[in-house]
């Protein structure tokens, strides 16, 4: 059996997002009138529902494409999210524990090397999908999430990408340091190099970012899993929403991730803030699961129909219930 672990947040309006998310619901009864019918014309007195969602492509767990960093990458036109090679989005995962790095600070090459040694690696392997574990996802749901996390330095980005890494993920609002920290440093020094160095490096060599990951502590080990992170192909866009999932083989599926409970000081600080805010990710998962339990059978059938069409046209499809519950299993 293969175990699936969800490494994504639920996309919703929250103080942890810098921009608003709005969802306009067309409910099951009103949906009938849009079609020129009445609810009573449908079985069970209900039609089908729909939602109109307004958000940015950087809302929720998402992937940044090279086009986000600039119009050119390596002297060539930068790829948009719908041009990202799918082969880059499926590969061996390596979780690097950088929870010791204080919020607001940059994650250096030396710190990456130390985390790699802890993970049993001398260096990244080409094709690795590197996930930076800051512990900041414990703040998801609060405004502190926007500014209390460490970010990757430009040198650290170059070290990973030049080792053959195509995808770098982080369980924080962004891959670079928080915006207030970068802007403060720029105003104090006038050094443009302090502004989004990890992003700007993508103008030199193309790579992909995964931002707003969650649940990296649920992984049973730093390696031994595969990351699946296919983005929504928004035409011409610099980013796309992404459901990131870790696949564990039978050898690792039975472990419970206790190595993530070693209590680094940075992680404890994130957890304390999350508890005060009352928006712990586990609470959100429970709430999400409760809503899912009450979903109506006809709505599930509608989604299943869409998934069937996606499979027919070659674009692929995915479905899942609940968030980060760590119990998804598929036949091996």
Query: So where are the chain's domains?
Result: 21-54, 62-277
Q: How many CA atoms lie within 13 A of 294 on its CB side?
A: 5
**Cα–Cα dist 253/208, whole Å:** 27
Question: Regarding predicted confidence, which is higher, 322 or 21?
Answer: 21
Question: Regarding predicted confidence, which is higher, 315 or 67?
Answer: 67
Residue 328, pLDDT score: 35
User: Average per-residue pLDDT in the chain?
Assistant: 83
Model confidence band, residue 114 (pLDDT cutoffs 50, 70, 90): very high
For the beta carbon of residue 127, count every other beta carbon within 10 angstroms.
14
pLDDT tens-digit series, residues 136-146:
999 999 999 99
**Cα–Cα dist 19/119, whole Å:** 36
Residue 175, pLDDT score: 98
**Cα–Cα dist 256/203, whole Å:** 39
Model confidence band, residue 255 (pLDDT cutoffs 50, 70, 90): low
**Cα–Cα dist 2/11, whole Å:** 26
Query: 62-277: which CATH topology?
Result: Glucose Oxidase; domain 1 (3.50.30)
Q: Name residues whose C-beta falls within 8 Å of residue 251's C-beta, 6 or more positions apart in sequence.
A: 224
Model confidence band, residue 10 (pLDDT cutoffs 50, 70, 90): very high
Question: Regarding predicted confidence, which is higher, 201 or 282?
Answer: 201
* Segment among 90-99, 100-109, 252-261 with least mean pLDDT: 252-261
**Cα–Cα dist 243/78, whole Å:** 23
Report how far apart the first and last C-alpha atoms of the chain are (Å, whole number): 4
Model confidence band, residue 1 (pLDDT cutoffs 50, 70, 90): confident
Residue 253, pLDDT score: 61
167: pLDDT strictly greater than 70: yes
pLDDT tens-digit series, residues 13-47:
999 999 999 999 999 999 999 999 999 999 999 99
Residue 250, pLDDT score: 67
Instruction: Look up residue 15 and give its two tokens.
Output: 């103080």
324: pLDDT strictly greater than 50: no
> 238 and 77 in contact (C-beta within 8 Å)?
no
């Amino acid at each position: 059996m293969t175990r699936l672990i969800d490494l994504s947040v639920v996309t919703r309006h929250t103080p942890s997002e810098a921009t608003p998310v709005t969802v306009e619901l067309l409910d099951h009864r009103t949906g009938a009138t849009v079609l020129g019918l009445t609810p009573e014309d449908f079985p069970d007195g209900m039609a089908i529902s729909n939602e109109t969602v307004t958000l940015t492509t950087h809302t929720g767990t998402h992937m940044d494409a090279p086009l986000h960093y600039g119009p050119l990458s390596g002297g060539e036109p930068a790829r948009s999210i719908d041009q990202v090679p799918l082969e880059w989005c499926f590969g061996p995962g390596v979780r690097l524990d950088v929870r010791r790095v204080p919020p607001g600070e940059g994650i250096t090459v030396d710190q990456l090397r130390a985390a790699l040694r802890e993970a049993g690696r001398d260096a990244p392997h080409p094709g690795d999908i590197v996930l930076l574990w800051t512990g900041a996802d414990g703040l998801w749901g609060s405004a502190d999430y926007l500014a209390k996390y460490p970010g990757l330095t430009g040198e650290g980005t170059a070290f990973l990408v030049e080792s053959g890494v195509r995808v770098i993920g982080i369980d924080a609002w962004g891959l670079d340091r928080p915006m207030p920290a970068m802007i403060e440093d720029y105003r104090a020094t006038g050094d443009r190099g302090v502004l989004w160095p990890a992003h700007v490096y993508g103008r030199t060599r193309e790579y992909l970012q995964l931002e707003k990951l969650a649940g990296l502590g649920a992984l049973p080990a730093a390696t031994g899993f595969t990351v699946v992170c296919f983005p929504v192909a928004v035409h011409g866009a610099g980013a796309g929403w992404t459901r990131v999932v870790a696949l564990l083989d039978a050898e690792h599926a039975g472990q419970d991730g206790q190595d993530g409970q070693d209590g680094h000081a940075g992680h404890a600080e994130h957890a304390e803030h999350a508890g005060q805010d009352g928006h712990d990710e586990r609470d959100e998962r429970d709430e999400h699961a409760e809503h899912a339990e009450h979903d109506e059978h006809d709505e599930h059938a509608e989604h299943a129909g869409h998934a069937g069409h996606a499979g027919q046209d070659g674009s692929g499809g995915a479905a899942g219930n609940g968030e980060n519950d760590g119990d998804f299993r598929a036949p091996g």
